[in-house]
Amino acid sequence: MYAVELTNVSKAFLGQNQREFLAVNQVDLAVAEGEFFSLLGPSGCGKTTILRMIAGFELPTSGEVLIQGEAMRDRPPFHRPVNTVFQNYALFPHLTVAENVAFGLEMDNLPRPEIEQRVKDAIAQVKLTGLETRRPRKLSGGQQQRVALARALVKQPQVLLFDEPLGALDLKLRKAMQLELKHMQQQVGITFIYVTHDQEEALTMSDRIAVLEDGQVLQVGTPAEIYENPNCRFVADFIGESNFLVGRVIEQHPGGVVVLVDEELPISIPSELDLPVGKVVTLVIRPEKATLHPHQYVDEPSLGGTVSEVVYLGTDTRFVIRLTPKSSIIVRRQNLYRSNLDSFSVGERVQIRIAPDSIRILEEGELSTNQPFAKPELGKRQ
């Protein structure tokens, strides 16, 4: 039995011009018991709407939300075994920290001594002991976040929902909270469903990730599956950084194909897919999976190119290499040694080696797009 299951769920909203639009479009999801499951996508992809349907704030237009096998359609939020940590925390401003945390237990009409004990434990669990009588306004953003977490955790729900809870925190604190949340989830064993637009956050914490776009689930998988084997260009682009080369198959042989990029650059790739000659495909190459070598390098199959840009980023250096007049590729090299920092310079001829099995083939793409990827964003950090 799944902790949470969505079967063919759609949600239509009435737009500005009185026209309906689908915020969530025929989504099927199954979240296992005890799993840390992330809903990842850009803003407006429907991830928050999905979370709100699980919490009960929105009802699906069609389809069914099941929590532990039970259909939730007729269950209002206060009868569902889930609790939410809201994006802006939604702490009750007129109640103290302890009163905020106790609120949910009081709604369950638990005996006073039990409430007090559990509130005390929950506040200790999120390391806020000593701040029980403070009002939320007198707390820092990180502390407010912890109160919101304690308030949801104290109810010991079957499923805990998070709506971009770390969005308002600064980078350092966010990183620390990510690890803490992950540890806490492993400790308490509650199923976490976590909405975020931050791909790094999703990769760091999740057991599995669902990538969404325009109300649809594009891919569901473990962080490694999603990163290494993206099933479409959007996923490859959204998770991490990718180079896209569009070409057409010119040769098919058992166990592999040769793809001609821009009518001049043949690339040989092993593949189990049935790709007939003439089919247009997109090759996905992660910048860190390519290595640069001097021009004379001839040992193994490699691609020749010219360095057109070099950007030093501290931990690594990014090179933009022009392969053909139309296509470039970003190669990322870790700065292992100080000595080779300026080993390649702009205008230099280089060879790029990519392990053939590190190239992912997507059966999509259009040859007419002269720029397989937009201008490379060199400054972009992961």
Partner 1 sequence: MLKSLPDSKKVDLWIRASGKALLWGMSLVGIFFLYLPIVILVIYSFNESKINAVWRGFTLQWYQSLFEGLTVGSDISNVLIWDALKNSLIVGFISTGVATILGTMIGLAMERFHFRGRTVIEGLLFLPIIIPDITMGIALLVFFSLVFQLLESLTGMRLVLGLPTVIIGHIAFNISYVAVVVRSRIADLDPTLEEAALDLGANEWKSFWRITLPLIYPGILSGALLAFTLSLDDFVITFFTAGVGATTLPVFVYGMIKVSVTPAINAISTIMLFASLIIVVLSFSLQRH
Residue 162's contacts (CB-CB under 8 Å, 6 or more residues apart) are 84, 85, 181, 192, 193, 194, 195, 196
Interface residue with partner 1 among 43, 69, 74, 76 (CB under 8 A) is 76
Nearest to 190 by CA among 156, 163, 164, 146: 156
What is the distance between the alpha carbons of residues 46 and 197, in angstroms, rounded to a whole number?
11
Q: Which is nearer to partner 1, 139 or 290 (CB)?
A: 139
Nearest to 69 by CA among 148, 1, 164: 1
CB 350 within 8 A of CB 309: no
Triad 113, 114, 120: Cα angle to 5°: 90
21 binds partner 1 (CB under 8 A): no
Closest contact distance (angstroms) between CB of 122 and partner 1 is 13
The two three-digit tokens of residue 328, written as one number: 């470039």
312 binds partner 1 (CB under 8 A): no
Closest contact distance (angstroms) between CB of 19 and partner 1 is 16
Q: Is 146 exposed, middle or buried (0-12, 13-18, 19+ CB in 10 A)?
A: buried
191 binds partner 1 (CB under 8 A): no
Instruction: Select the span of 82-90, 277-285, 317-325, 346-354 touching partner 1 (CB under 8 A).
Output: 82-90
DSSP assignment of 318-381 equals EEEEE-SSS-EEEEEEE---STTTTSS-TT-EEEEEE-GGGPEEES---TT-S-SSPSP-TT--
Instruction: Select the span of 43-51, 76-84, 174-182, 372-380 touching partner 1 (CB under 8 A).
Output: 76-84
Closest contact distance (angstroms) between CB of 88 and partner 1 is 7
56 binds partner 1 (CB under 8 A): yes
Q: Which is nearer to partner 1, 192 or 373 (CB)?
A: 192
Q: Which is nearer to partner 1, 94 or 381 (CB)?
A: 94
Interface residue with partner 1 among 13, 59, 62, 92 (CB under 8 A) is 92
Site for partner 1 in 95-154 (CB under 8 A): 103-104, 107-108, 151-152
In sequence order, the β-bridge partners of residue 195 are: 39, 163
57 binds partner 1 (CB under 8 A): yes
Closest contact distance (angstroms) between CB of 145 and partner 1 is 14
Q: Which is nearer to partner 1, 71 or 107 (CB)?
A: 107
What is the distance between the alpha carbons of residues 2 and 77, in angstroms, rounded to a whole number?
19
Interface residue with partner 1 among 90, 131, 250, 260 (CB under 8 A) is 90
Q: Which is nearer to partner 1, 84 or 206 (CB)?
A: 84
Interface residue with partner 1 among 7, 61, 68, 86 (CB under 8 A) is 86
Closest contact distance (angstroms) between CB of 125 and partner 1 is 17
Number of chain positions touching partner 1 (CB under 8 A)? 23
Using the structure block, give the residue that is written with the tokens 């805990």.
160
Exposed e or buried b per residue across 244-267, where buried means at least 16 C-beta atoms within 10 angstroms of its C-beta: bbbbbbeebeeeebebebbeebeb
The two three-digit tokens of residue 355, written as one number: 């392990």
93 binds partner 1 (CB under 8 A): yes
Closest contact distance (angstroms) between CB of 106 and partner 1 is 8
Using the structure block, give the residue that is written with the tokens 């058992």.
254
* Interacting residues toward partner 1 by CB under 8 A: 55-57, 76-78, 82-84, 86, 88, 90-94, 103-104, 107-108, 151-152, 155
